[in-house]
């Protein structure tokens, strides 16, 4: 009888060991598969932005275009100071709210100073100016905000918020469309922009 009990216990232990091993393998495969999906998505985001950069960089904004500030004052695009490169944040009320907030919050984590804040420009398209003011106030945004209908940039057609660097000739570069599901890609982009244009001193000859 004693030998039978020992045999049963050994069998149960072996069975449990096999089950645990299989569960571990399944979990490892699941984690590996999830990581592979995440890597594939990140690669897709990078690839899409690479293509967007080629299609949208070197677009030249129309300096005769008339835009408005939040107080409805008319301003010529040529009057916006871009002696030093500026980071433009472009968004619209037709963009998804979460995408707009994601981009604005990322931008607000950049190096903060009165000097550099003037070089971060928000170009917005809003029929409902009150909604825009509410958004700006809730996020406590201190950057200059301008209302503009459209820009001569192919990126306007994708209906997602995006950003770019604008130089003294009103030419675009480093066009980027952030993806809220890949925050690390956005973090890397803004870190590179911050280090190149906002921290280390910059002249047009360094481009």
Domain borders along the chain are 49-206
CATH architecture of the domain 49-206 equals 3-Layer(aba) Sandwich (3.40)
Reported as type and span, the H/E element at residue 162 is strand 162-166
pLDDT tens across 125-138, in order? 999 999 999 999 99
Higher pLDDT, 6 or 70: 70
pLDDT category of residue 86 using cuts at 50, 70 and 90: very high
pLDDT tens across 27-46, in order? 554 445 555 656 676 777 77
pLDDT category of residue 203 using cuts at 50, 70 and 90: very low
pLDDT tens across 44-65, in order? 777 877 787 788 889 999 988 8
Does residue 114 carry a pLDDT above 80?
A: no
pLDDT tens across 10-28, in order? 444 554 454 555 655 555 5
Residue appearing with tokens 């275009």: 65
pLDDT tens across 70-79, in order? 888 999 988 9
The dihedral region occupied by 17, where left means phi > 0, alpha psi between -120 and 50, and beta the remainder, is alpha
Residues whose CB falls within 8 Å of the CB of residue 170, separated by 6 or more in sequence, listed in order: 60, 61, 63, 77, 78, 82
């Amino acid at each position: 009888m004693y030998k039978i009990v020992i045999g049963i216990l050994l069998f149960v232990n072996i069975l449990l060991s096999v089950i645990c091993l299989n569960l571990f393998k399944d979990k490892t495969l699941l984690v590996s598969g999830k990581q592979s999906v995440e890597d594939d998505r990140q690669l897709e985001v990078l690839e899409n932005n690479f293509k967007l950069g080629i299609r949208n960089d070197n677009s030249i904004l129309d300096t005769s275009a008339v835009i408005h500030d939040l107080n409805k004052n008319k301003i010529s695009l040529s009057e916006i100071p871009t002696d030093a490169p500026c980071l433009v944040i472009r968004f619209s009320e037709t963009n998804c709210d979460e995408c707009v907030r994601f981009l604005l919050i990322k931008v607000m984590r950049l190096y903060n100073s009165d000097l550099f804040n003037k070089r971060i420009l928000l170009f917005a398209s809003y029929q409902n100016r009150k909604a825009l003011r509410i958004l700006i106030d809730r996020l406590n945004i201190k950057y200059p905000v301008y209302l503009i209908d459209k820009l001569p940039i192919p990126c306007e057609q994708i209906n997602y918020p995006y950003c770019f660097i604008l130089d003294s000739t009103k030419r675009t570069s480093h066009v980027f469309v952030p993806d809220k599901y890949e925050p690390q890609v956005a973090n890397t982009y803004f870190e590179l922009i911050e280090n190149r244009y906002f921290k280390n001193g910059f002249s047009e000859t360094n481009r």
